[in-house]
Structure 1
Amino acid sequence: MKRLLSKLSILCVLGSAAWAQQPAAPSSAKAAVAFNLTDVHASPRVSFPYSNGGQLRGDRYSLRQSTLVDIIAMAYGVKPEMVQGGPSWLELPRFDIIAKADPKTSDADLKKMLQALLADRFKLVMHKGEATMPAYMLTVAGAKSKMKQSEDGVAKTCKGEPPVPGAIPMMAVSCTNMPVDELATFLNQAASGDLTEPVLNQTGLEGGWDFTLRWTDARQRAKAGAEAVSIFSAVEKDLGLKLELKTAPRPVWIVDSVMEKPTPNSPAVAKELPPPPPAEFEVSTIKPSKPDAQMSGRVANGQMNLTAATLKMLIPFIWDFNSNDPQMLVNAPAWLDKDKFDFFAKTAMPEPVPGRPPLQIDDFEFHQMLQALVIDRFQMKVHMEERPIFAYRMVADHPKLTKADPTKRTRCKQGVGADGKDPRVANPMITQLLTCQNITMKQLGDFLTQYATGYIYTSVLDDTGLQGSYDLTLAWSSASLTVLRPPPPPGQPEEAIPADAVTLYDAMDKQIGIKMVKEKRPVSVLVIDHIEETPTPN
């Protein structure tokens, strides 16, 4: 926490510098530098898409599962919300970009190369402008704040407070000599589950300030129940400040025109930019866990370090399907959910390049490596096959939907909409808030598979008969409070679902008048043909 906060002022300066260095508008001319060769193609469909990559490893640059908004934001060094205008579909198609460049290419030149690619392959034309956008205004709540002005010579510090055993889970941080501009940035980062729009300092307070702030994180709000303290309440109670969602003019890039599909790849791509040979882990071990070991560990940045993990838990992650649905894995032997293993695997990372951020592993390659490891060590044989399983379709019962402006950007995001209403503040049992704009019912079904994973495991069919596009908001409770509650201890009765909890199915029915009907239909599943219970020796 301390390390994070000490960098906030630097990040603010860097962000301003990045904006100032952008080329003059309009932007459509090819940059002075360009990739040697580029392969741009539609991304393969995955269950949980997200933009990843954007780094040069050797002479190969890769960016995967990225929308045009993602690519523009990376090319011009801005946040995605700073990319405005353009056609309504701008956030929908996803692309993979594989390119060749000199291994010594600087990050600044990589951005210019990406700008040139956008202009050349997508015919992107943009200009700088200003847009009125939602933002949280941080103001003084009363006559004065409750923070204490720092004395001269006091060091700038922030320390997280350890949780109190048995107490309501809280986030707590004590800071000294903190400028309010940096406080605003900190709030955006630390309470990102609630503050989905930027926080702008409108307090007029100068200098550094001392304070302690305690609140309930969005992920812990359900556990805290009625005693949860939202970030909004905490800021007012502890700091004497106020967070209000309003609008403010902000500098943006405005898309004038862009093609939905890139121009064709060069015929030389297949020969000169072939897929790299399958990568392998530098080190990997798999061994049975100790009998009393508890599940722990992490999988991140080219490393897997797990203790007491079952293959029933690991396989869905590796093969990209929802682990909550046992139907998605066919012919799984009983031991798959009982035998526990310790997994350790590490990739060989290239030497860091001076002046560049640390290299990240390509997520696509990493999943391929994990698949190969499990297949090899457990002598596993699998295939994908369509089989009838339970899934959902949407039907229009008593639709309560608002027709959308078809020129607006098609999107769904977690967090409040333009009206600023947040039902999570009044009802701590509501933990999920989805705001959608200009979406069809089919697109809503697709978004639900991404945002409602505890309730929806496979694709949702649209059987509503509703035409056109709509704006809507859905608020519901985490599945861990309703349909995925852990079983009670032996001999204990099952607890009732909290009275204020709202399932996704009820939210769909009561809030937008769409019913979710469960039925059996063919869905692609992973079938295990063979797997050994004992892994081959390390």
Structure 2
Amino acid sequence: MTDRLNKKRRFLATIWVLVLVSGVFDCLGFSVRAQSTKQDWEKAAGGKQQFEVASVRENKSGGPSYSNFSLDNGNAYFIIKKNDKLDLNGTLFSAKNQTLMRYIIFAYKLSGTQELALRFDYFEGLQLHVPQWVKDDRYDIEARAPEPATKDQLRLMMQSLLAERFKLKVHNETREAPVFALVLEKPGKLGPQLEQHKADDDCNATAFPEGSGKGAAPAQSLSALPIPCGQIAHLLPGSPGANRFGGRNVTLALLGTSMPTQTGLLTLPRPVLDETGLKGGFDFWLEWTPEDLSEVDNGETGGTFREALKNQLGLKLERAKGSVQVLVIDHVERQTAN
């Protein structure tokens, strides 16, 4: 029994490392809404689109993974730095040594829960059994849009490219599964580090406040968070060994779906669904000390994160059953050589 428990702990710890490492250059921007054949963000971006020209080559030489902008999959993995800049429009898409899985995650703007379900057959009831080569084989893609495009428009172009070159067919599906319900610890009361987004914040300022930067934690004020609105990201922690992430003008549904990737599956082995009943956008930051994974039988249960969630945000998690949206791959083929 002890050996099986230890193996499970090692497996979960490995998954968390894989999520953090493979996504180290990927970040920002995601939504959690009821999914239909065509999602709201796809409609807003203009529907089906195509690159003007594109090259897709299997990468057999290795080397570092690269992309000319973050391959957004709905989670922020890296720490936002003082000099990071966001480019809202562009024509060039360039990425090297990325798995086909990474391009799919980008193309369909998958949330944290959706990504984890697609990459790992771990969540009970959400096993998707993706072909292993989709997770392993790496490709270089160079493509150009016919005119300056937003990131969401580039996603739609990537959908068309993957359908053409890899015969990719997918559909969205809702499944019932064991979840954690995110609820208020005390009815009607928010924690000190969670507040409704202020109407006078026009979301234009995203720079770090003076005095922050390398080696210094961001300002404690929620209104001074350097995160672009609508996004969640890792932040510099206030103490060694701690983790901190925050969001600005984000829904609590978005907070919930990001939690398993922010904390690791060892801490939250189920999807998280928002059941607070609170609507609109919120600003927050949360800091906790991760479990010590150096000893697989140390008996820790993730309580440090749950205590931080309660004390800082006024929220808690309850075991429940819920409806979870996932992206199902119906068909995919390796690209044939030109």
TM-score (norm 1): 0.34
Looking at secondary structure, tell me which structure has more strand per residue.
1
> Which structure ranks higher in relative contact order (CA pairs < 8 Å, sequence separation ≥ 6)?
2
Q: Which has the larger radius of gyration?
A: 1
